[in-house]
Each structure stands twice: as C-alpha cells, then as structure tokens.
Amino acid sequence: MTRKRTALLCAATVLLSSTPFLAGTVGSADAAPRRGPDCVASPTPARGQGRAIEEVIRKDRRELKLRAVVARVTEHGRDLWTGAIGPSMTSVPARPDMRFRTGSVGIAFMGTILLQLVDEHRVRLDDPLSRWMPEIPHSREITLRMLATTTSGFRDYVTDPRFLAVLEAKPFKHWTPAELLHYANPRVLLYKPGTNFSYSHANFLLLGEALERITHTRLDHLLEQRIYRPLGLRATSNSYTPDIPRPVLHAFTAERGEYEESTFWNPSWTTAPGAVINQNICDLARSGAGIGSGQTLSKKGYKTLLDPGTIGLGTPTKRCPATVCLPQTEENHFGVSVLVVNGWVIQNPSFSGYAAVMAYLPRKHLSIAVSVTNSPTTDLNAQNLGNNIVQDLSHLLAPEQPIN
C-alpha cells in the first residue's frame, strides 16, 4: 500500500504558589476502577474487510518495528476488527482489554465539558479567565476559548530544555501545577492572545482548574459524570498516582539511552490533575466515536467543537518560530481540544513508550483506535507511530477521504 507520511498537526508537540491551584494539592485516592464489558479480540478473519485490516496492522507493526499493536475498528458501532499483536511483556501476549495511558484524550474530554457548560448557559467561550483565576498572568486578556483552542500565547513547558532535563533524570517525579507553570513562564507570552496558534500543555493545565472552579466539582468527578457515564466508558479512569488498573499493557522506551520499562513513570506532567487517564482499546474507540460525533453536545456545540473560528492563524512572530506556531487550514486545524484532519476528529496521545490514536470520521460513523508500544529498534524520532497505522487504515476504509 502506498502511504503518504504527512504529519498530523502536532499535539504533544513566575511561580505563583500562593494560590490553592498552583500549590498543586493532590486529590484523594482514585475510586475503585469500574469493571467494563469484555473487550476481546474478534474471531480470526479468513477474508474480507477484517482480514484486510489485520494485514495492514501486521505489516505496519513489522515495518515500524513496534513491540505491540492493539487496535479496534468499528463502523456504526459494529465491530470490524478488534485485536492485539505482539507482547505486552516477555511471554505475556498483549490483549485488547489491557489498559494504557491516553493523556490527550483527557484534553478532548475537557474541551467537550467546556462546550457542555456553554450549551447550559453557565459560561461563554469568550469569558475571560480572570473571572475564575485572576491570579494567572494575562488572565483578563485570555478567554476560555483561547485555552481550549490553544491560542492563548502561553509557552509549552514540555518543549523547555530545562524541564526535559529534569523529566529525563527523574521519570518517577510527581509534578505539581506550580512547577509546570514555572517552566511555561506565563508572564511572558509568545504573542497577543487569540492572534495565533501554538500547542501548549499549559492551556489544558489551566482549563482543567477553570472547569473545577466553574462547577465547584473535582475534575475527575466531572469526567465521570459528564463523559464516562454518557459514553459508556467502563474501562477508563484517572490516575493521581502512576498506577494503572490491571490488566496493563506494559510500555518500554530507549529515550534515556537504554531500553527500559516505562509503564509506571509518573504521568503527572501530562495534563491537568484529574484528567491523567488510562483506557483499554474498546473505550478508546468509544471515546473517538462519542467525542467525534458530538454525542453529549448540542448541534451548535458540536459545530464549535469542529470549528471554533481559529482557522487561518499561524503566522510566526519573533517570539513564536514556525516550528511552534503552526499554520491551520480548513482541512487540517485544531478545533476545541481536538484535531480535525480532512474531516476526521482526532486525538493522538504519546507518553514515554506509549502512543495511541483515536480517529473518527462522522460521515461514515467510522472509529479507529490504535495503541502501540516501542521495541528496542523503534525509531524514537517519530512523534507517534500510531498515526502511521491509522493513516493506512483510513486509506483502506475511507479511500475517498483518508487521513493525510
């Protein structure tokens, strides 16, 4: 199969500790994980669409030198293929019901909750952040919309070399919001808020806290009430600690030099406390379908999810080089906490040996979910090799509207 390796829009790509949020208090222990319906492999297909899907996945796993690939493909909710290829650990095969980290899927959940609150007339997208978080620099200029569409001008702490040095040296360190925002340096913006687009984890760190203050509800509880239950996500949970409910898909990486297990490296830096989630592949596919179809939103809210009016931003400024501020088009742009790529609604989290993608094509009600782990020979320069598999599956299943 000929495939075009055009990268998707990259989504992963002043201490104020006097305030309760920036002090970084940790919530209480997670509730007992909910047991979901069985997430099992499809019968081995002899021919047809299921066989073709499996052949693409096996071929890509081999060519991309991946350790394990877990995937689920559904259309109108009907299973086309669910399975796992490769080992979780030595002599332990990967299985569809195994949990893995899906950090930025939690970002899509937060954006959807914000739009639910707009639907309920509890907030407006253009309300200033200062209404709830006046202690944040530039909060009078920055709106809820700018946080959710990552157009605030905040720097991304994840790209700061000083942060990366500490993260590499101390992968088990628990990070507080105050520490993370220190690296984002919110007093100094890349550009005037709302005039450009640059992906920054700081936006979603602040959006999560804003949602808590707006609703007077802890973020993990908001996700449970407004996302997990309505979408039927029974194998999804937040982690205030590095623990993952069993069974676990184990991750490995050579990013620190030696190939080592990274399953339980601390994910507290990835997004807002309460939205640091893990899922199995069936819940990831349900998430893609639920968020991508606007299941919990009004028609107006769903339209805004896909196009919040930021298309066309991305002209570099002196403080915002072209590699940071990304141009957007009608075909490929950032919506409200989701990527929109040729009509597909996408999130593609990656974290220290884990990488995953949820992609949904509304026109065909087609959901593709993929999770991959690294082998010792996986190319660490690639941002998220799950993207490659999803792109190839989109060419197979929707050749008239593929992800490019």
Residue 251: Cβ-neighbour burial (10 angstroms; 0-12, 13-18, 19+): buried
Contact 256, 234 (CB under 8 A): no
pLDDT over 50 (residue 18): no
How many angstroms separate the CA atoms of 100 and 119, rounded? 32
User: Can you give the pLDDT at residue 52?
Assistant: 97
Structure token digits, residue 221: 């509880």
Q: Got the DSSP string for 254-278?
A: -TTSS-EE-TTS--TTSS-TT--EE
Q: Which of 23, 106, 163, 127 is nearest to 278 (CA)?
A: 106
Average pLDDT over every residue of 366-371: 98
pTM over 0.85: yes
- Helices 177-184 & 201-215 angle (0-180, nearest 10): 130
Categorize the per-residue pLDDT at 37 as very low, low, confident or very high, splitting at 50, 70 and 90. low
CATH number for the segment(s) 49-397:
3.40.710.10
Q: Which of 27-41, 174-188, 251-265 has the lowest mean pLDDT?
A: 27-41
Average pLDDT over every residue of 155-168: 97
Q: 31 or 249: whose pLDDT is higher? A: 249
Q: Which of 357, 403, 263 is nearest to 72 (CA)?
A: 357
Q: Where are the domains of the chain?
A: 49-397
How many angstroms separate the CA atoms of 119 and 113, rounded? 10
Q: 324 or 65: whose pLDDT is higher? A: 65
> What is the phi/psi pair of residue 370, to 5°?
-140, 140
Q: Give the pLDDT confidence of 59-79 residue by residue, as tens digits.
A: 999 999 999 999 999 999 999
pLDDT over 90 (residue 324): no
